[in-house]
Amino acid sequence: MGAAARTPAPPSGLAAAAEPEERELEAALRPKTLDDFVGQERVRKQLALVLAASRIRGRSADHVLMSGPPGLGKTTLAMIIASEMNAPLRISSGPAIQHAGDLAAILSSLTEGEVLFLDEIHRMSRPAEEMLYMAMEDYRVDIIVGKGAGATAIPLELPPFTLVGATTRAGLLPGPLRDRFGFTGHLEFYSVAELELVLRRSAGMLDLKLTSAGFAEIAGRSRGTPRIANRLLRRVRDWALVHGIETIDTSTASAALDMYEVDARGLDRLDRSVLEALVNKFNGGPVGLSTLAIAVGEEPETVETVAEPFLVREGLLGRTPRGRIAMPAAWDHLGLRMPGNAVAAAMLPFDEDDIDD
């Protein structure tokens, strides 16, 4: 049963690891009800209807799948589902379930109506995934006893429960698993206006005073992600506290975030390193992922999963069949003039399955 826990693991974000006090503060800022949850209007309304219907029927809610980039509220929504259904919450993750026995141990200990949250569900092992099919559909699992020809399957009945799965890569989920979820919600990046609402709520809980321009400055550097917005708010709070500033305005927020190397567009040190390497060392590309990663002193997976998604979404970096290229906006952001041969590279056709060296 070590694969499951009843308290959430600290989410990954702009900072690598948060101290216990930081994690507690982050948990305290999470909204507790759907009414308090800011943004994701479509998903919120659909989910509210699903939960209300379940309460009227007096049954557990349908299984829920939440997909979308990190930091947009998948874990928070799982907690809200448990709270709205007045049910206990069990938390685990796909990577923690590497054997069918790990999943069987979790499922066999669930109580009626309990909400089981599986983060990064697409990373579960195949045997555990196949066991989950029957558990979700028939509330039953088969426990295999023995080996070889003498092995027997003992059916174990499960109480009705609600599975909430979260994934950052919905395309990796097999069709049979996706089809067993009664509701699927995709979370989108937040607008600056929505992030300002998130920050206003958090500032009220932290007893901070900010001007409207101060909220806008932090929101504009938060990469469309509430988790990052709240983290930057806390860093700005620390900077203001050390400098004896009571009301945080644009200049205060800007000075604080500049010190933490988060620029006006939300790019951090790694993002700028990738763009600067592309522009200064490879004349805008194209260059393979492995070569680019070596140039910035990071692992290829870090560049691909941490920096690239935001840079591509912002139109600063492009992926082509020949490798990564710096887009015209990247040159502008770095204050450099784009040479003619880089313009030609930027016109290369794009391909998601780009060839890498």
Which residue among 44, 90, 221, 227 is the active-site one?
Answer: 227
The answer to whether 75 is a known catalytic residue is: yes
190 labelled binding-site residue: yes
Question: Pick the catalytic residue: 44, 90, 102, 119?
Answer: 119
DSSP string, 193-215: HHHHHHHHHHHHHHT-EE-HHHH
Question: Is 187 annotated as ligand-binding?
Answer: no
Is 238 one of the annotated binding-site residues? no
The per-type count for the chain, helices as H runs and strands as E runs, is 16, 12
DSSP 156: E
Is 207 one of the annotated binding-site residues? no
Annotated binding residue at 180?
yes
| Residue in 168, 225, 252, 320 annotated catalytic | 168
Binding residue per annotation — 324?
yes
Phi, psi of 157 (to 5 degrees): -75, 140
Q: Is 147 annotated as a binding residue?
A: no
- How many other CB atoms are there within 10 angstroms of residue 115's CB atom? 25
Known active-site residue 227 = yes
Q: Is 35 marked as a binding-site residue?
A: no
Residue 35 annotated as catalytic? no
What sign does the dihedral 249-255-260-266 (CA atoms) show? positive
Per the residue annotation, which of 44, 75, 235, 272 is the catalytic one?
Answer: 75
Is 162 designated active site?
no
Instruction: Give the separation between CA 222 and CA 220, rounded to whole angstroms.
Output: 6
Residue 319 marked as a ligand binder = yes
Look up 147 and say whether it is catalytic. no
Consult the annotation and say whether 74 binds a ligand: yes
| Residue 324 half-sphere exposure toward CB, CA atoms < 13 A | 29
Structure tokens at 219: 């929101």
User: Phi, psi (5° rounding) for residue 198?
Assistant: -60, -45
221 is in an annotated binding site: no
Out of 44, 74, 235, 237, the active site residue is 74
**Known binding residues for DNA:** 319, 324
Catalytic residue positions, numbered: 74-75, 119, 168, 227
Q: Residues forming the annotated binding site for ATP?
A: 29-30, 71, 74-76, 137-139, 180, 190, 227
Instruction: Output the known binding site for Mg(2+).
Output: 75
